[in-house]
Structure 1
Amino acid sequence: MGLADEVLALLDDALAIYRDSPRAVTWLRAHRARFAEPLRVAVAGAPRSGKSTVVSALIGEELTSTGATTWYQDGPQPKAHVGHYEVPVVRRDGRAFVDAPDAERVVVEWPSRSLRDVTLIDTPAGAPVEHVYGEADAVLYLTRHMHNTDLRFLQAAHDHPVARATPVNTVVVLSRADEIGGGRIDALTSAKQIARRYRREAAVTPLCQNVVAVAGLLAVAARTVRPDEFAALATLAGLPRTALEEHLLSADRFVGDDFPVPLDPATRRALVDRFGIFGVRLTTTLIRQGFDTQVKLTGQLVQRSGLGELRDSIGIHFTERHDVLKARSALLGLDVVLRAEPRPTAATLATTTERILASAHDFRELRLLAAIHSGRIRLPDGLEAEATRLVGGLGADPLTRLGLDHEPRPDELHHVLHHTLNRWRDHAADPLLDHAQRRAAAVVVRTCEGLLTEQPA
């Protein structure tokens, strides 16, 4: 029985015990139903951390937040609801606005491939930790730099026995990476180095799965660049670098009257609004370097903005672990019931919850994946890449874990599994590895054993 099946059975036991409590039954049924839903990923952060910009980049549409908690989910056409009432979705200046100024919660349906597996929850700036984590299965926490206030927020999110035992549902995003170093052309490289440093900091690594750097404004522009914008950028790139350089020192200079090509101030102002002055600098440089079509340019912008790494991180740490994170949410939800309505007949539920948290291998895999990714654990001789793959870092299906690019015969699959298992058993007992490395190898061993038992005899 897998983790999800165990937790679903536990919820059924709880529903039987609390069948005389309408509030508990409603709460437990809601958590049970969530297993069939897309993963809920909340986007949180302080004011001006760029939450709505990152949400827009992930969805692939310029969306303007209403200030309410806004749920974005896949749908056949754009529409929005407040409770049971539909509210208008209007477009102004290329952006989509939801006309619901007084609402506390808005549900927006939007046709987007990115929303098929994930529901994004754009939380109000500075929302308290219980509001952010209360209904989400995972969280993207946005910040410009990691400050003590950020650490306190993340620590509060884990100030619960279930959350502390399974700190596997948060990715930190340095969301305005283009502002690092005064917006120099190498700002994104510097920001990615800072993100790598944060991954290794003792105060940060226990609180999140990963730290990534994203230039939000550039990421949105990469997903939504229009032909007229590309044409304007190509015109700028056609200028000699020296002729354009002094006009790219600030937004004011860029929209000034003494511009060397006939691009009107309104067009230039629109470029700055969409790309930022850093983005204009970068795009013109890339076009000169040969990324001189719209398709080539947008591909580069997605990669360089950090959006590609963010999407990969969401996939590896969140959507590939849908059932694990749903099970974690359900255990937290069950704990709410046990604390709110304690009763002697529910003692077995608490015991089973503790057993699942202590023994669930899925949680161990996620913790190991984060430890390898952050650099807290180093494995020698190429073992890191294999360990990452085996514990699901590239995908959770058996063939991806084993690195097989074809459908093997049953006997071939068993041979590969036995060979892999025996090698990792040797690593787990290798006296030349330190204690942390042997423990990591033991997690991989348990993964291989699980893959082997899942195969038909």
Structure 2
Amino acid sequence: MAVAGSVSSGKSTLVNALVGAELTVTGLNPVTFTPTVLRHAAEPAVTVHFLDGRPREHHPLTSLARFTARLPDTDASKNIAWVEVRGPLPRLRSFDLVDTPGFGSRFEADTQAALAALGLTPEDVSSATADQLTRADAVLAVLNAGVSRSDADLLTRFRGKGLALSPVTCVGVLTKVELMWPGEVRRPVSNPLDHCGRIAERIMAVPGMSRLLHDVHPVCSKVSEAAWSMSEEDHADLASLARTDPVLLHKRLRVHRAFAEGPFEDLPLPPERRARLVRRFGQYGIALATALIRDGVEALGELRAELDRRSGMESLRTALMRHFGHRSELIKVGRILDAVHAVDTGQLFVDDPRTGAAVEDALRRVTALERDELAFAELRMLTRWYQGELPLPEADAAELRTVMGEHGSSVAERLGLPPRTPLGEMERTALARLGHWRASPLMNHPGGRTPVQLMQLRYEQLCQRVRAARALLEDAD
């Protein structure tokens, strides 16, 4: 799963929050210059892969920043292709995560100088990002607080060019949401997550966006990142601030620099400790953490978990597993099949026709999955609809997305029903929709036969599952 977006869009902070560890370097300016692949493993290690063919190098995890980030003592160079990070990262048991440098040319002057010192150009960074995205099975598209022209271009530029961006494989994430707090004068923002939830809805309403993204999730990733890296000293300092009058604390927090440097005698912490807190948590993170402590969430572990939940990251992880998790094997098989279709057996085995015939037979067995596996056929159908290749009315298209698992893979979710719907109602709904599709006039329209047949097959299967569940319950009685 690759994290993609414009430079300085908060990708590395999002990666740290997803992983639940402060691994990648973050900052106010672009700092990630090298694609980084993070994987779960028992033993931590950093492996550097080079462009010039030299043997890969192994280093301790503490050296990661040397090879990926813009730092004074960095070892990153144009010869590094990508860096692999392994470690005990239990949240990555189900997928690998790729932190990409980003697209665009909005580099500050000091960043341009750092790139030049490394022998890199903005085009090199964008090219490295594009290369990683074409290798990815799924993409997290990092957006700013509204879809700018460059954001939309980023999503459309690579669609159909080795990167199959569609709601099947792409989820949007709205980052830097915590910066919306405390809002403007006479327009306060007490909960930036709710505020940006409305922005996410507007993003999905942009024409064409629903064919690129499955959904857009607003997150305060900096708050989650800080929660999981919070030290005992940070926890004690937050508890101390929580004993301050909330109105006074919010007043001091409104200006980042003043809170970090001001000689405020009405605050219990000296400037250097306030500076460390606001650099790690941000203004909203401090306001949220101290409010939770005042509400009784005092233990370190409980505070970490609640900050993560309030940041929106817990909801995002759940959504990713729901959307990608039950399809992960299908998506990977789909990429394999695309590669199989590109094989020219005549050129590969000109001198050995028997081997060529054997390979062609093996390839036919693999490609038969497209015909024989209902779930795979559905995935292909969804992809075709998102690419605008199926002339379906909107109501039928919405039902197709639901029954084919876009909103969940359980029987109730595929039928568009609440989770605890009685079995009898599930069966009646499935039979009613089966009857509708058996009589559908789309069967006689150009391109309509296959989707109609797939809908019938899925509703028949859902009926069978409900009846099997009822039979099991009757046997138990």
TM-score by length of 2: 0.68
Change (3 A) 1:302 1:453: same
How far apart in 1 are the matches of 2:172 and 2:178?
Answer: 16
Larger radius of gyration: 2
Q: 1:303·1:309 contact (CA, 8 Å) conserved in 2?
A: yes
Query: What is the aligned residue count?
Result: 392
- Partner in structure 2 of residue 23 of structure 1: none
Letter in 2 for 1:449: E
How far apart in 2 are the matches of 1:430 and 1:296?
Answer: 55
Partner of 2:244, secondary structure, is coil
- Partner in structure 1 of residue 377 of structure 2: 360
**Within 5 Å, which residues of 2 pair with 1:232-271?**
232-255=237-260, 256-271=262-277
- Partner in structure 1 of residue 212 of structure 2: 207
How far apart in 1 are the matches of 2:454 and 2:240?
Answer: 55
- Partner in structure 2 of residue 283 of structure 1: 289
- Partner in structure 2 of residue 81 of structure 1: 47
Measured after TM superposition, the shift of residue 446 of structure 1 is 3.6
Letter in 2 for 1:47: V
Q: 2:323·2:408 contact (CA, 8 Å) conserved in 1?
A: no
Measured after TM superposition, the shift of residue 223 of structure 1 is 2.7
Q: Which runs of 5+ in 1 are unaligned?
A: 1-40, 370-375, 407-411, 432-438
**Within 5 Å, which residues of 2 pair with 1:361-400?**
361-364=378-381, 388=402, 391-392=404-405, 396=409
Q: Which runs of 5+ in 2 are unaligned?
A: 26-31, 50-55, 104-125, 184-188, 351-355, 387-392, 441-449, 472-477
- Partner in structure 1 of residue 117 of structure 2: none
Residue 101, structure 1, aligned to residue 118, structure 2: no
Partner of 1:333, secondary structure, is helix
Letter in 2 for 1:56: N
Partner of 2:304, secondary structure, is helix
**Within 5 Å, which residues of 2 pair with 1:16-95?**
41-65=1-25, 67-83=33-49, 84-90=56-62
Partner of 2:62, secondary structure, is strand
Residue 197, structure 1, aligned to residue 182, structure 2: no
Change (3 A) 1:205 1:353: farther
Letter in 1 for 2:164: A
**Within 5 Å, which residues of 2 pair with 1:158-237?**
158-159=159-160, 163=164, 168-180=168-180, 184-237=189-242
How far apart in 2 are the matches of 1:273 and 1:340?
Answer: 61
> Does 145-154 or 447-456 show the bigger shift?
447-456
Measured after TM superposition, the shift of residue 104 of structure 1 is 2.5
Change (3 A) 1:400 1:378: closer
Q: Which has the higher contact order (CA 8 A, sep 6+)?
A: 1
CA RMSD of aligned residues (A): 4.6
Q: 1:247·1:254 contact (CA, 8 Å) conserved in 2?
A: yes
Percent sequence identity over aligned pairs: 28
How far apart in 2 are the matches of 1:219 and 1:387?
Answer: 32
TM-score by length of 1: 0.70
Which residue of 317, 321, 327 maps to 1:321? 327
Partner of 2:297, secondary structure, is coil
Measured after TM superposition, the shift of residue 424 of structure 1 is 2.6
Measured after TM superposition, the shift of residue 43 of structure 1 is 0.8
How far apart in 2 are the matches of 1:354 and 1:332?
Answer: 12
User: For 1:254-285, what per-residue CA distance to the aligned partner results, in whole angstroms no more than 9, with x for missing partners?
Assistant: 12112423312222111111111121122222
How far apart in 1 are the matches of 2:258 and 2:345?
Answer: 60
